[in-house]
Amino acid sequence: MISGAEIVIRCLQEEKVECVFGYPGGSVLHIYDALFKQEEVKHILVRHEQAAVHAADAYSRSSQKVGVALVTSGPGVTNTVTGIATAYMDSIPMVVITGQVPTQYIGQDAFQECDTVGITRPCVKHNFLVKDVKDLAVTLKKAFHIAATGRPGPVVVDVPKDITAQMCEFEYPKTIQMRSYNPVVKGHLGQIKKAVQMLQEAKRPIIYTGGGVILSDAAEKLTQLARRLNFPVTNTLMGLGGYPATDSQFVGMLGMHGTFEANNAMHYADVILAIGARFDDRVIGNPEHFGEEKRRVIHVDIDPSSISKRVKVDVPIVGNVADVLDEMLKLLDGGFTADPEVAGWWKQIDEWRGRDSLRYKQAEHIMPQFVIEKLYEVTGGEAFVTSDVGQHQMFAAQYYKFDKPRRWINSGGLGTMGVGLPYGMGVLLANPGAQVACVTGEGSIQMCIQEMSTCKQYELPVKIINLNNGMLGMVRQWQEMFYSKRYSQSYVTSLPDFVKLAEAYGHVGMRIEKPEDVEPALRKAFTEHKNDLVFMDFIIDPAANVFPMVAAGKGLTEMILAEDL
Amino acid sequence: MRHIISILIENESGALSRVAGLFSARGYNIESLTVAPTEDPSLSRMTILTSGSDEVLEQITKQLNKLVDVVKVVDLSEAAHVERELMLIKVRATGKDREEMKRMADIFRGRIVDVTESTFVIELTGASGKLDSFIAALDAGLILETVRTGVCGIGRGDRILKV
Ligand SMILES: Cc1ncc(C[n+]2csc(CCOP(=O)(O)OP(=O)(O)O)c2C)c(N)n1
Ligand SMILES: [Mg+2]
């Protein structure tokens, strides 16, 4: 017999978990003791529980493995909520183990008690409170199973302290059967056939793909399919890297800050093949405006509730993206002839491309777009890029051309400022030795800045690309455009000296103020300081805005372009 | 449109709040909700009376199915079904009202299940509309208290909701 705490650790070992992100406290002391007595599972001590969850999230995003976080009850749990909600919105598989007060104290307002299952319920795929040590191993097995299968998501397992002390036989189930949970994998063949037929008839087709392609590890299959069809491809913010951005069939990201060609192609397409994407408000703009064009929609998604939620779908295909694409490819092998009018559609797209909607003017100041372009060059397009939330995030998404999946790590759904640095940590722990750039702003970086200390402890050489405009830039942009330049609370004063701050944490700091210094500084950071965390404080043009832009309530084709201003 | 959703769900603690939380988080309305274990005590059966367009109902069913504890969901009102609700109503029954109350209960096939010198408790079962009519038929001033279970329902004939 072993203790509940040892069972927790044994389960992690059985799941081949190499790395857990966490922070100790009273209710998890037994678990931390069990952790101490073994070496297989490594523990990363963060400086704030929010960062533990973000790091576990990025660990998963960049590797396909399930991320794991371990925190104590009460404040440990409440600190994780932002991280859990962030992972939930982007469907990231993750298991969060939370300590709880001993069973007999639950409901008594005990010290560091909170209703973990209640607080996290709306932002988890599922959660459990373990009430008997005999259920502990099975519950953890279920948690990993649920997190990683179907539409993935975070699962919380709340473990009262007394249960971690109780002794029990350990047996880890090899497989798990749940009568209430059986996600579909294979798509319906009849529907897939219909879809292929519809693709043959398409005159103005577009392939629109999202995070589902990444989560399903289907990027290669998507590329095969798109090449086979020779149709244009657009990615959502979450889908970047699902199709090589440098490929000629790629028309760029679509949506609020999408390219002119992507948004127009999406709007005027007569057949949309949507794969692992959900037509959200940032993607299609005003739904009434979007609905004005007549078109047919094929929608492949593992989650039936994503289909026909915001846009009516003609051919729904519920299934795992990779499996469905396999079937489609097989059918295409049987012969496929695209409609001859598709050639004209490509001409139209090339005309839209001619607007060169990502063009920007160089100025005396460093332009943020320029920094990202140089970052792309210096890293050979091979870096993992994590980002925070704001203008810098959009610049990174628009100007770093992701050719591979799982390289672009950002909070798309919840839009959580503060994820960038902990995301960088998670990526490096899952991909040791990789080049990792965290593109951030002086606002966002300060939301999890304490993690510079964690980076020191574990030697995590994230390159922090701080696009410092002294502004909550994205807020300022909206105020400039829609609130007659009343800049209410969007100006950040009393910024720390980031160079000194980085040095105080034991890292390298650089301040870059001139355009001509951008590239050399980046080169230095990625070569000479390969193994250091480098905080690169780029003082950029504070007036730079993100274009194209589809304003709130506007239609996809009603973009504001930089040239209009 | 009015719909009756029947749900088979694992009889775990918190199951009810998962369902109720889903409805409130997504802005679906619940007119009534009843829940109790089935003949297999590991399963609960929940009946929710809701309303919404076809699109909303499609989302409600899909979202319910997405809950990990939910085993099965059907929209009972899509086909032939039987629905019932139970009401207990306490009325003032004194003097000549006593006879009148008794008569009204009989007409609606209610049963008087508690009697005091001045009050009756009448039990009435039926479709919700019948309970509404009973209330409407009484002199409002005589109604002291009402309690209703909310709708529960079952499919007719071969329509069976089981694992
Ligand atoms: C936690 C959190 N709070 C508030 C916001 C709203 N918000 C979105 S972008 C932004 C400004 C971000 O400023 P900064 O990090 O400096 O980036 P910039 O836009 O200047 O590039 C804010 C406040 C958010 N996304 N997340
Ligand atoms: Mg800023």
**C-alpha–C-alpha distance, residues A405 and A217, integer Å:** 8
Q: Where would I find the H helices in chain B?
A: 15-25, 54-66, 96-107, 128-137
**Of A117, A118, A146, which is closest to B68 when you measure between CB atoms?**
A146
pTM of the complete model? 0.97
Distance between CA atoms of residues A527 and A428, nearest Å:
17
Indicate the average pLDDT of chain A: 97
A469 lines ligand 1 (CB under 6 A): yes
Q: What tokens does A421 get?
A: 């640095």
Least confident of A333-337, A397-401, A494-498: A333-337
CA distance A89 to A1: 40
Tell me the pLDDT tens digit for each residue of A355-405: 999 999 998 999 999 999 999 999 999 999 999 999 999 999 999 999 999
Q: Per-residue confidence at A563, pLDDT binned at 50, 70, 90?
A: confident
Instruction: Assess contact for A425 and A58: CB atoms under 8 A.
Output: yes
- C-alpha span between A231 and A216 (Å, rounded): 21
Whether residue A291 lies within 8 A of chain B, CB to CB, comes out as no
**Closest by alpha carbon to A84, among A146, A23, A126?**
A126
Out of A6, A49, A373, A442, pick the active-site residue. A49
Give the position, in ligand 1's atom list, of the atom nearest the Cα of A477: 19
Q: To probe the interface with B, which of A106, A116, A120, A180 has the most B CB atoms within 10 Å?
A: A180
Residues A313 and A304: their CA atoms lie apart, in Å, by 11
Query: Nearest C-alpha to atom 11 of ligand 1 is from which residue?
Result: A472
Atom of ligand 1 nearest to the CA of A447: 1
Active site residue A111: yes
How far, in Å, CA of B159 to CA of B145, rounded? 36
What's the pLDDT at A492?
Answer: 86
- Average pLDDT (A333-357) is 96
Is residue A6 part of the annotated active site? The answer reads: no
Residue of A nearest to B64 (CA): A305
Using CB atoms, pick whichever of A125, A146, A305 lies closest to residue B62: A305
Convert the pLDDT of each residue in A53-96 to its tens digit.
999 999 999 999 999 999 999 999 999 999 999 999 999 999 99
Q: Is the Cβ of A118 closer than 8 Å to some Cβ of chain B?
A: yes
**pLDDT one-digit tens code per residue, A246-290:** 999 999 999 999 999 999 999 999 999 999 999 999 999 999 999
**Which of A124, A158, A279, A305 to mutate against chain B (most B CBs within 10 Å)?**
A305
Task: Using the CB atoms, write b or e for A259-276: b if 16+ within 10 Å.
Answer: bbbbbbbbbbbbbbbbbb
The span from the CA of A482 to the CA of A348, in Å, is 32
- pLDDT tens, position by position, B60-96: 999 999 999 999 999 999 999 999 999 999 999 999 9
